[in-house]
Structure formats: structure tokens, C-alpha cells
């Protein structure tokens, strides 16, 4: 009794977070894992321990296709973000002379993160749609005569939208990594006979790889689990895993399969995160 009272603040400080994590994270994981082995028996599910759901995921072309599509979209989004973010971050860190401008531009890239994610995805609907900004613009300059429906409701629209939404997560780690590279390393490289391109290739790029890895991990995993963009701009054959999972828990009423899908998705994401973590650690031990 007195022990408890003496430790009460400690118990509260530690206890509430532990309880929170147990209740809202560990328990749901447990439930999902458990469900993923159950059997669907219309109209409900019966407890079981069998791998049928997982087998379905890896054999039914329908699910394999969604997985591959999600993989493809996520990879495209990561690559597009990288190709845009790296030169931009590089320019900011090494070429932008004015510190004020640098801060400003960096903030401009980060600021959209404070705007509702849903809103930012929705914006692209109004840009790419038949009534949208892009179509009006193309018509006004006479490139097309009537609105094109080619821009919206396809995978292209999804990649554009997701790249737009997640690019700050690529810019931030790359910017940080580049900023950490001491200028005297590039100077040393030049001193040792290397021109700007070769210095970049041999010194700057390798030393920024941990940032690139972090950026790829973030944008890939965020895209991999995205639910809104396919929903808003993806069109009929733009479903990603998250949408399929949602359907299993909703209309299809197949919680066991939905759970198994969620677990597979979780494993993919965790694998990527731990790989990149290992790479970053290695980068650090070899790092600055």
C-alpha cells in the first residue's frame, strides 16, 4: 500500500503509456494475427489455425496482382520523389548562396505537411479532372480541343498525387544528410585531383546515401499503405492493398483474409524498414 503510494507518480508516468500501447497497438496486432488464421464461414468466421488465407493471397491472381500493382506504384513514387528531391536538396545545400532563401524554400517544401492530407489529394482531382485546371490550360493554349479524361483515374494520376504528397519525406532526410557533409571533404576531393562530377560521385553521393535510404523507406512505406489516393484519383483498376483490405473488412465481409493481407503488408514494410535501418547504421559507423 505504502509502496504503491510512494511510487504512484512513477506508476502513472510509465503505466499510462504502457497501457495505451497495449490497448491500442499490441492488442489490435494480436487480434489481426489471430484472425488471419481463422476460417470464413458465411455469415461469420470460425476460430481455426490454418494458412488458407495466406495461400489464397499468394495464389489467387487477383491478390497477387494488387500486391504487384502496389509495389509498382510505391516504387515509382519513391523514384519520382528521389529524382525531384535530390537535385533540389543538393541545390539548396551547396548552391543556394542566400541563407534566407534556403530556409524559405525548405519551409515551402515542408509546409504542405501541415495541410490536411485528404485536401492535398483532393486538389489533384481538381487539377487532373476533365473540368480541371490542366485541361482548361491545355485547351486555352490550343493543344487540345476538348477535355481529356486521360489524366485522372489511372495509375499515372496516383503516382503524381502520391509523389506530391510524400515528397517532403524524401527532401527532409536528403537535405539533412547533405548538410552534414563537411565542406572540407569535397575540398579535399578537389585537392586530390577530382573534378566536380567525380567528387560528387565518390564523396558527396556515398555520404548522402543514408539520407537517400531513409527517404526511400519513408516514401515507399507511406505509398505502400496508402488508401486515399487510389480512392480519389486511382479509378476502377487503381486499387491498392489498403483498399482491398478495407473491402475485406467491409463489403466482402472476410475478416480473416483482410487480416492476412494486413499481416503480409506489415511484413513487407517491416522488412524494408529494418533493411534501411541496417544500412543507415552502417552508413553512420562509416559516417561523419
Partner 1 sequence: MAAIIELENISKHYSPTIIGVDNVSLTVEDGEFVTLLGPSGCGKSTLLRMIGGFEEPTAGVIRLGDQDVTLDPPYKREVNMVFQDYALFPHMTIGENVAYGLKTFKLDKNTVRTRVKDALTLVGLYEKVNQRPQQLSGGQRQRIALARAIVRRPKVLLLDEPLSALDAKLREQMQIELKHLHEKIGITFIMVTHDQTEALVMSDRVVVMEKGRIAQQGRPQDLYDHPATPYVANFIGTTTFLPGTVADGADGVATIDVAGTRISAHPEIELAKGATVTVGLRPEKVKLLAEGETAENELEGKITEVIYYGLGLRISVALADGSKIDADTLLPDKLSHSTLPQVGAPVRLGVATHNIFVFEGKVTP
What residue ranges bind partner 1 (CB under 8 A)?
182, 184-185, 187-195, 198, 202-203, 206-207, 283, 285-288
Compute the half-sphere exposure of residue 19: CA atoms within 13 Å on the CB side of its CA: 6
Pick 12 or 188: Cβ nearer partner 1: 188
Sign of the Cα torsion 149, 152, 155, 160 reads positive
If the CB atoms of residues 234 and 283 are measured against partner 1, the closer one turns out to be 283
* Helix (H), strand (E) at residue 44: strand 44-46
CB of 260 to partner 1, least distance (A): 42
Shortest reach from residue 214's CB to partner 1, in Å? 17
Which residues is 40 bridged to in the sheet?
A: 45
Give the three cell numbers for residue 154: 489511372
- CA gap 33, 53 in Å, rounded: 12
Q: Within a 10 A sphere around the Cβ of 239, how many other Cβ atoms?
A: 18
Per the structure block, which three cell numbers stand in for 203?
564523396
Task: Name the DSSP class of 236.
Answer: T
C-beta of 94: minimal distance to partner 1 in Å? 15
Closest CB 202 distance from partner 1, rounded Å = 7
Q: Which is nearer to partner 1, 15 or 286 (CB)?
A: 286
Nearest approach, Cβ of residue 212 and partner 1 (Å): 14
C-alpha–C-alpha distance, residues 211 and 170, integer Å: 8
Select 189 or 243, whichever has its Cβ closest to partner 1. Answer: 189
Amino acid at each position: 500500500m505504502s509502496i504503491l503510494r510512494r511510487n504512484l507518480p512513477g506508476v502513472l508516468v510509465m503505466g499510462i503509456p504502457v497501457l495505451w500501447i497495449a490497448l491500442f497497438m499490441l492488442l489490435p496486432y494480436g487480434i489481426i494475427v489471430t484472425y488471419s488464421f481463422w476460417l470464413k464461414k458465411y455469415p461469420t468466421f470460425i476460430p481455426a489455425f490454418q494458412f488458407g488465407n495466406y495461400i489464397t493471397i499468394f495464389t489467387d491472381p487477383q491478390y497477387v496482382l494488387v500486391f504487384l500493382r502496389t509495389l509498382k506504384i510505391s516504387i515509382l513514387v519513391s523514384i519520382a520523389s528521389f529524382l525531384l528531391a535530390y537535385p533540389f536538396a543538393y541545390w539548396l545545400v551547396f548552391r543556394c548562396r542566400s541563407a534566407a532563401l534556403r530556409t524559405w524554400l525548405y519551409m515551402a517544401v515542408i509546409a504542405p505537411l501541415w495541410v490536411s492530407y485528404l485536401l492535398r489529394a483532393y486538389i489533384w482531382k481538381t487539377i487532373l479532372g476533365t473540368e480541371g485546371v490542366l485541361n482548361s490550360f491545355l485547351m486555352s493554349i490550343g493543344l487540345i480541343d476538348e477535355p481529356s479524361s486521360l489524366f485522372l483515374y489511372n495509375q499515372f494520376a496516383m503516382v503524381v498525387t502520391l509523389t506530391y504528397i510524400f515528397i517532403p519525406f524524401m527532401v527532409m532526410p536528403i537535405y539533412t544528410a547533405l548538410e552534414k557533409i563537411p565542406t572540407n571533404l569535397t575540398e579535399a576531393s578537389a585537392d586530390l585531383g577530382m573534378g566536380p562530377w567525380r567528387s560528387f560521385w565518390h564523396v558527396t553521393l556515398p555520404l548522402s546515401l543514408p539520407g537517400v535510404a531513409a527517404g526511400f523507406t519513408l516514401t515507399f512505406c507511406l505509398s505502400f499503405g496508402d488508401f486515399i489516393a487510389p480512392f480519389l484519383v486511382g479509378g476502377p483498376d487503381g486499387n491498392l492493398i489498403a483498399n482491398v483490405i478495407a473491402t475485406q473488412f467491409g463489403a466482402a465481409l472476410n475478416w480473416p483474409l483482410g487480416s492476412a493481407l494486413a499481416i503480409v503488408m506489415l511484413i513487407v514494410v517491416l522488412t524494408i524498414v529494418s533493411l534501411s535501418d541496417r544500412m543507415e547504421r552502417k552508413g553512420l559507423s562509416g559516417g561523419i
